Structure 1
Amino acid sequence: MRVLVSDNLSKVGIEIFENTPGIDVDVNTGLTPEELKSIIKDYDALVIRSATKVTAEIIAAADRLKVIGRAGIGLDNVDIPAATQRGIVVMNTPEGNTVTTAEHTIAMMMALSRNIPQATASLKAGRWEKKKLQGKELFNKTLGIIGAGHIGRIVADRAKGLKMKVIVYDPYVKPEVLSELGAEGVDFEELLRRSDYITIHTPKTPETTNLIKKETLAKMKKGAMLINCARGGIVNEDDLYDALASGHLAGAALDVFSTEPPGKIKLMELDNFICTPHLGASTKEAQDNVARDVANQIVAYLLEGTVTNAVNVPSISGELVKILRPFAVLAEKMGLLQAQLAENAIREIEIKYAGGVSRYDSRPLTAALLKGILTPALKDEVNFVNAPVIASERGIKVVESKTETSENFASLVVTRIKTSDGEHIVSGTVFGKNIPRILRINDFYLEAFPEGHNLLIKNRDVPGIIGAVTSTLGNNGYNISRMHVGQDKEKGENGVFLATDSPVTDDVLSQIKNIQDVLSVKRIDL
């Protein structure tokens, strides 16, 4: 088996490949896309970090490729749908750099509070500016953490050790779980209002892009400080400049930027702004950890078929793959749908397997469902292996049941999630050998394709509504590729699940909401 390492990888990982019988490794970094495309056909595995872009074109040329391994978490540089279509497993190493990133956050907060970068530059320039560079203590200050994933939790633990008060906003985590961390769960507005320091530990998603902008910055406490070691684009850098220049915020520290490298942006002109060039995971220990993890995972997959930390395929034994893979795809899509239906933290998930699917091991299917549910909040941090563990850490109760009888379908999967504001039901099946379908969304029964950009619309069952919705979309340049309608005769309502070729903007969403007798509209990305 041949392995290509196309980005810089710690020697620890290279040595694992070199010392494993049956594995031949080539280290060839700095390849152009054309060069990578010309040689990838000769390899069974590709190891990358963030530099190599594994596009659909590269994947199409990879005749032998079985697995892509990312030494780190982020997979924005891999076309995962294209890899999945070709049957290529995509793995990452989500645990290797969590401590390092959390420590960098604490370091940035301390450097910001005590003016360490400014003091260093001043002293090296021959000045002695003790009075000008007076700082402030972290002791007894309130730290607001946005996102309670692995890194956010480590930051909370370290901050508690510094005797800070810790408050956390994470709509996907139950308050009881945060209490066990010694933190107080609050809503977003309260976190902005109360925090002396705010640090961000959430993936970049459509919901978190520009999360920190003019309006949110204005709600922060005057004199507060902001730290972002998560992802660029969550903080609007122009709005942050204005908040710092006006004196509303006392300081900010960024390790990540919307464009990297950022060049000479306005923020660089400010004395109360400090920054690092995306160093959050850049320690020897972290790079050794992720290199060791990715090498061991790829060796185990190539030689034994063992799948670890895969983001696009659950671990299913060879003889069951053909039977259960379509149901795993269905389960993940149902989880994604449920996560987008829920308005508040999920407390409990009930999963019922009925008919033929109930005869098989349900663990990979449940893992796929949980991955789908957690993906909108955690993105690349969650995979088919760690999803059950993360769900447990977040206090989500999972209840499974099986029955061999299914009245209308050969196999049926029914999911019910419970939140503080109610519950949602989604059911689905697989038609033929590999065609997943959503059959029920709450009170509406339909047969919907679980893929693409969708709108879920609830309206009163009166003439003209569907026509008005489709006209609004058409007038704004949207092509409707599919549409399914479910009817609730008892309530006199319809559920419309329609797919568009591109995501619908907020403005067009508002236009649809304002149509008379439209009760609700929700974007659903699958």
Structure 2
Amino acid sequence: MAPRVLVSDALSETAVQIFRDRGVEVDFQPDLGKDKDKLLEIIGQYDGLAIRSATKVTDKVIAAATKLKVVGRAGIGVDNVDIPAASKKGVIVMNTPFGNSITTAEHAVALMFAVARQLPAADASTQAGKWEKSRFMGVELTGKTLGVVGCGNIGSIVASRGVGLRMRVIAFDPFLSQERATQLGIEKVELDELYGRSDFITLHTPMTDKTRGMINKDALAKMKSGVRIVNCARGGLIVEADLAEAIKAGTVAGAGVDVFETEPAKDSPLFGLDNVVCTPHLGASTTEAQENVALQVAEQMADYLMRGAVSNAINMPSITAEEAPILTPFVKLAECLGAFAGQVTEEAIHSVEILYDGLVSQMNTKALTSATLAGLMKSQMADINMVSAPIMAKERGIQVTEAKRDKSGVFDSFIKLTIVTEKQTRTVAGTVFSDGKPRFIQIKGINLDAEIGEHMVYTTNNDAPGIIGLLGTVFGKAGVNIANFQLGRNKRGGDAIALLYVDSPVPEALLDEVRAYKEIHRAMPLKFDMPSAE
């Protein structure tokens, strides 16, 4: 019996035909996504669901989808899909991360021009019968400094367009290597330097805990007077009230905003301000982009439903059915190793070296490497997945190498990750025990045996008496329960580390208290995509 797919948002007829040509039965109801009750009523009949942004795939929809195997999102953002609910039920969620790149980059450049020359206001004035030539004095882009925050797929396209416009392009991206920057013809800088030097700033970074609200009062105070800011990435990157105040004060000369803190944006502190150009999330709104992502999602879903091929999956690696039982625990380990390195590394990464030792060296290491890179880059790139991670790493000029060897120690298998930055080399290793749970077995060359939990704290210190008591006392007074506490040192009186597995997120004030002790060199929170302890 042929698999059935429901298309509940507006995909092109060409995309719908792809399903039919591949032997998939397709039900094209492009307005159904707006009718939550009707969707809940019929979703149980389908093996696949193809959507854009209008359809909300909630936990209720997932629960009602008794046959559903795959959700395909034509576009990059999957905020309208309950990923944990889908994962728990074994529903694969796919997206199309690269189909909108050119279109979004071009919209950012269009907003730069619009703000530089005050085009919308000048158009409205002229069409109203006025002739206010002296009112709309603009600035040239040529010779100005363009600061690109986030130099991945879209940001690098904007950077290259800026170079073509004879702008001086500088960029900040934690994963941008000097080699990649040189290849693009741009200068790699730190974020504060970018703020201080840029005449135009364009944002192309995903929304993460680190980037949310990054353009705030403090950041704006570091910027050159008269800067113009463009955001075609995510609305929450900018604190709109702070930007509005800076525009009113004249320290920011203008802004082009395509995305907002709340969407649809019915009201914003930015509305009505002089030289603020606002568009309703049009970054991906071109005929070409909409067609590209529609065709791509249809091909991906049909390939999975008819042949079992998985590509651009948010919540599942590219693993065959035969490999899954053995490989899956090591995929989680690889992801955790990458996540650890990504969270503790602040400098740009030059290279990634992954050693597979023992039985794991005979497995599908391509999937494991992809999982490692996804974990490594996830702290900076929320939308990354195992398929896109290697591409993103390559775009940023990160060299990735694998090595395999026969069993060399007490463990039947282990994975060792080495991160090389411009300032240091960092290593972390782990294995999977017989219970299927991943564990850290070495950090910075220091051996230990640490269970991995959702919330952890990593500390470094000199090996000295009293550290266990100190940490236990501080955490206990704050009411934070330590579920597991592991220590390690390289030698007596030498360097030491501690990993604390805690039951809940650790308040920053508590970490500041720990850092205040002279015995502690570093204390930082870690978060891993692991089930919460009951």
TM-score tier, shorter chain, comes to over 0.9
Report the secondary structure of 1:13's partner residue.
helix
Shift of 1:356: 1.3
Q: Among 304, 327, 330, which residue is 1:327 paired with?
A: 330
d(CA) in 2 for partners of 1:471, 1:94: 46
d(CA) in 2 for partners of 1:79, 1:462: 47
Q: Among 203, 208, 211, which residue is 1:208 paired with?
A: 211
Question: Judging changes above 3 Å, is the alpha-carbon distance between structure 1 residues 48 and 497 closer, same or farther for their aligned structure 2 residues?
Answer: farther
Shift of 1:262: 2.7
Shift of 1:269: 2.9
Report the secondary structure of 1:227's partner residue.
strand
User: Mind listing any 5+ residue stretches in structure 1 that lack a counterpart?
Assistant: none
d(CA) in 2 for partners of 1:454, 1:61: 35
Aligned pairs for 1:132-211 (under 5 A) are 132-211=135-214
Question: Judging changes above 3 Å, is the alpha-carbon distance between structure 1 residues 513 and 274 closer, same or farther for their aligned structure 2 residues?
Answer: same
Q: How many residues of Structure 1 are paired with residues of Structure 2 in the alignment?
A: 525
The answer to whether the 8 A contact 2:33-2:39 is kept is no
Shift of 1:26: 4.2
d(CA) in 1 for partners of 2:187, 2:436: 45
Shift of 1:280: 0.6
Greater shift in the superposed pair: 425-434 or 34-43? 34-43
d(CA) in 1 for partners of 2:468, 2:37: 48
The answer to whether the 8 A contact 1:8-1:29 is kept is no
Query: Match for residue 426 of structure 2?
Result: 424
d(CA) in 1 for partners of 2:60, 2:443: 37
d(CA) in 2 for partners of 1:82, 1:485: 36
Q: Among 370, 378, 384, which residue is 2:386 paired with?
A: 384
d(CA) in 2 for partners of 1:364, 1:114: 48
Letter in 2 for 1:237: E
Question: Judging changes above 3 Å, is the alpha-carbon distance between structure 1 residues 295 and 393 closer, same or farther for their aligned structure 2 residues?
Answer: same
CA offset digits 1:303-354 (Å, max 9, x no partner): 0011111122221222212111221121122111111121211112221111
Shift of 1:487: 4.0
Query: Match for residue 107 of structure 1?
Result: 110
TM-score by length of 2: 0.93
Query: Match for residue 497 of structure 1?
Result: 499
d(CA) in 2 for partners of 1:26, 1:213: 44
Q: Among 483, 486, 490, which residue is 1:484 paired with?
A: 486
The answer to whether the 8 A contact 1:255-1:276 is kept is yes
Report the secondary structure of 1:250's partner residue.
strand
Aligned pairs for 1:8-407 (under 5 A) are 8-27=10-29, 29-31=32-34, 33=36, 35-380=38-383, 382-407=384-409
Greater shift in the superposed pair: 476-485 or 504-513? 476-485
d(CA) in 1 for partners of 2:129, 2:503: 61
Query: Match for residue 445 of structure 1?
Result: 447
Question: Judging changes above 3 Å, is the alpha-carbon distance between structure 1 residues 512 and 156 closer, same or farther for their aligned structure 2 residues?
Answer: same
d(CA) in 1 for partners of 2:7, 2:509: 45
CA offset digits 1:435-478 (Å, max 9, x no partner): 22222222443333434122112234445444443444454454
Among the aligned pairs, what percent are the same residue?
46
Query: Match for residue 532 of structure 2?
Result: none
TM-score by length of 1: 0.94
The answer to whether the 8 A contact 2:156-2:184 is kept is yes
Question: Judging changes above 3 Å, is the alpha-carbon distance between structure 1 residues 267 and 21 closer, same or farther for their aligned structure 2 residues?
Answer: same
Letter in 1 for 2:49: L
Aligned pairs for 1:448-487 (under 5 A) are 448-487=450-489
Letter in 2 for 1:458: T
d(CA) in 1 for partners of 2:107, 2:456: 39
d(CA) in 2 for partners of 1:185, 1:217: 20
d(CA) in 1 for partners of 2:284, 2:48: 24
CA RMSD of aligned residues (A): 2.1
d(CA) in 2 for partners of 1:483, 1:60: 38
User: Mind listing any 5+ residue stretches in structure 2 that lack a counterpart?
Assistant: 529-534
CA offset digits 1:397-423 (Å, max 9, x no partner): 222221221421221111111111211
Question: Judging changes above 3 Å, is the alpha-carbon distance between structure 1 residues 498 and 58 closer, same or farther for their aligned structure 2 residues?
Answer: farther
d(CA) in 1 for partners of 2:511, 2:479: 13
Shift of 1:61: 3.4
The answer to whether the 8 A contact 1:53-1:78 is kept is yes
Query: Match for residue 412 of structure 2?
Result: 410
The answer to whether the 8 A contact 2:16-2:28 is kept is no
The answer to whether the 8 A contact 2:22-2:306 is kept is no
Greater shift in the superposed pair: 112-121 or 30-39? 30-39
The answer to whether the 8 A contact 2:175-2:393 is kept is no
